[in-house]
Amino acid sequence: MIDFQTDPSRYHHWKLSFDGPVATLTMDVDPDAPLLGGYELKLNSYDLGVDIELADAVQRMRFEHPEVRAVLLRSARDNVFCAGANIRMLGKASHGHKVNFCKFTNETRLAIEDASAHSGQRYLAAISGSAAGGGYELALTADHIMLIDDRRSTVSLPELPLLAVLPGTGGLTRLTDKRRVRRDRADVFCTTEEGVRGKRAVEWRLVDELVPPSAWEERVRERALTMAGDGPAPTGLRLHPLRRTIGDARIDYDFVAVDLHRTERRATITIRGPAGIDGEGCDFWPLAMARQLDDAILHLRLNEPSLGLLVFRTKGDPARVLAIDAVLEARRDEWLIREIRLLLKRVFKRIDMTARSLVTLIEPGSCFAGTLCELAFAADRCVMHEAATMTLSSMNFGAYPMGNGLTRLQTRFLGEPESLDAAHATIGSALDADAADEHGLVTTTSDAIDWEDDVRMLLQERASFSADALTGLEANLRFAGPETMETRIFGRLTAWQNWIFQRPNAVGETGSLKRYGSGQRPDFDVERV
């Protein structure tokens, strides 16, 4: 089982240190501690285990160290910043693992950029040595990239010429969309194994600053302090380990339960609403629920690939969910509430990006209100019982944007501003099934007599379709509206990588991933598709 829970005392690959407003996140990959076994993590190359630790460190800095305003990314190794994703791992991994590995690393890097944009923790990448492939893609997430001018240190995206694949964690998109690298120069850069160094790296906007070795350490520290600037230093909140019980057919957390129906190829995720608005620290319901739901989604992605249908249910008092939402809105300027809202946003985005069919059932006894209504709007289908209610809050109108920059309701009512306005006018009103249907908030409604049959037929039909076709259908329909750097990374770059990972030029017996390091040249199928 792949476990996404860790903490700094268990890190194998990262060192985290703090000096006032500056945190240093040092990559020091243990070559003998791969996640799956059977390969060495040489030259600061990484696998999913390395990135699980990175994701944990990024999140902990936001909650446990809000005094940090600049994060320095660097390497503990001489002459290498990071060699990127481990090639032996990619060659041995299943297709599903490769794709989910790329998806998680993309989400982690977007979380870094989210911390820069919304948490006041700006990132600085100090590249001393080679930053290749995913190593340079990690640096691309930073606000500022420094490169030592020692005639050895380079940046490169050599995946195409070396491995017949693409930079898998947003590199192509960040070159053009974020760093505004010219298309022809990006083409040269991405087809050149040896990469770019020195003044050309600055001229092409691949890095921001070139520093001589004699001034390196001093300039790195000065730049980090300048980026940190002045600001408040609130006391952080320690993130304790999740309370979790994993059984053969059920996973239980405090507020989330996952029932695994393997014969029917689905999982039912039930979220228990809050008992009240009390609760301190990690036990505050929205924070605890978000962390538990996030862990459950990641567990299902990597450990239960055959469960292609996720069914969301809730239990509890809608009034208590709305009371929590009132707190999240009234205290939105407090750093902890801000971080809880941002975490909820990222968790809902993770659900959007999960390659499973999503069905939400609104039943009597449900607490689909405010924040939890996002699960209804994230779903591919939402079915509501005639005796149930749902209630919107202000949190449904801006707190949790999708990757396309729109809220789920804006995406739902694209081209129907009057429908969005009508939904907004219902804030705080408990809508019955007829009203929810009239406002376009659910897919279908069902009466008490037909409920069980309607739900059963929906779930059985969904499970009978091609999983591949459903993934393509859902990924296209979920992200209507404007394209952003984030949707381009997932909807275009990752989709192409998914396809390339199945092609013989990459993964065939004579493909690049299989022959890398053997001394034999790959044998390519030269027909264009």
- pLDDT tops 90 at residue 232: no
pLDDT at res. 494: 85
Give the model's confidence band at 162: pLDDT under 50 very low, under 70 low, under 90 confident, else very high.
very high
Give the pLDDT mean for 303-327: 97
Q: Computed from CA positions of residues 262, 351, 238, 288, in that sequence, does the dihedral angle turn out positive or negative?
A: negative
Task: Say whether 245-477 and 8-228 share the same fold.
Answer: yes
Q: At 165, is the pLDDT very low, low, confident or very high (cuts 50, 70, 90)?
A: very high
What pLDDT was estimated at residue 173?
95
Domain positions in the chain? 8-228, 245-477
User: E strand or H helix at 72, and its extent?
Assistant: strand 70-75
In this predicted structure, the answer to whether residue 168 has a pLDDT above a threshold of 90 is no
Residue 280 has pLDDT above 80, yes or no: no
Q: What's the mean pLDDT in 30-38?
A: 94
At 8, the pLDDT band (50, 70, 90 cuts) reads very high
Percent of the chain surpassing pLDDT 70 = 100
The total of other beta-carbon atoms located within 10 Å of residue 371's CB is 24
Taking only the tens place, the pLDDT of each residue in 343-363 is: 999 999 999 999 999 999 999
> Residue 277 — very low, low, confident or very high, per pLDDT cuts 50/70/90?
confident
The domain made up of 8-228 has a fold known as 2-enoyl-CoA Hydratase; Chain A, domain 1 (3.90.226)
CA 299/CA 20 separation, integer angstroms: 35
Crossing angle of helices 335-352 and 95-118, rounded to 10°: 150
Task: Write down the pLDDT at residue 435.
Answer: 98
Instruction: Give me the mean pLDDT over the 399-425 stretch.
Output: 97
Report whether pLDDT(23) > 80.
Answer: yes
Binned at pLDDT 50, 70 and 90, residue 201 comes out as very high
Q: How far apart are CA 320 and CA 323, in angstroms?
A: 5
Looking at residue 441, its pLDDT comes to 98
Q: What is the pLDDT of residue 350?
A: 98
pLDDT at residue 279 above 80? Answer: no
Alpha-carbon radius of gyration of the chain: 24
At residue 231, the pLDDT reads 83
Q: 15-37 b/e with 16+ CB inside 10 Å = b?
A: ebeeeebbbbbebebeeeebbee
Q: Residue for token digits 């952080």? A: 236
pLDDT digit string, tens, across residues 108-131 = 999 999 999 999 999 999 999 999
pLDDT (mean) for 71-95: 94
pLDDT tens-digit map of 424-468: 999 999 999 999 999 999 999 999 999 999 999 999 999 999 999
Check residue 429 and give its pLDDT: 97
CA 297 – CA 301 distance, rounded (Å)? 6
Average pLDDT rounded to a whole number, residues 473-480: 92
pLDDT surpasses 90 at 493: no
- pLDDT score, position 94: 92
Which pLDDT score, from 0 to 100, does residue 517 have? 85
List of residues 6+ apart from 463 with CB closer than 8 A = 264, 265, 266, 308, 309
How far apart CA 127 and CA 154 sit, in angstroms, is 8
Predicted local confidence at residue 37, as pLDDT:
87
pLDDT at res. 495: 86
CATH number of 245-477: 3.90.226.10
Reading phi first (left if > 0) and then psi (alpha if -120 to 50, else beta), residue 40 is in beta
Q: What is the pLDDT of residue 224?
A: 97
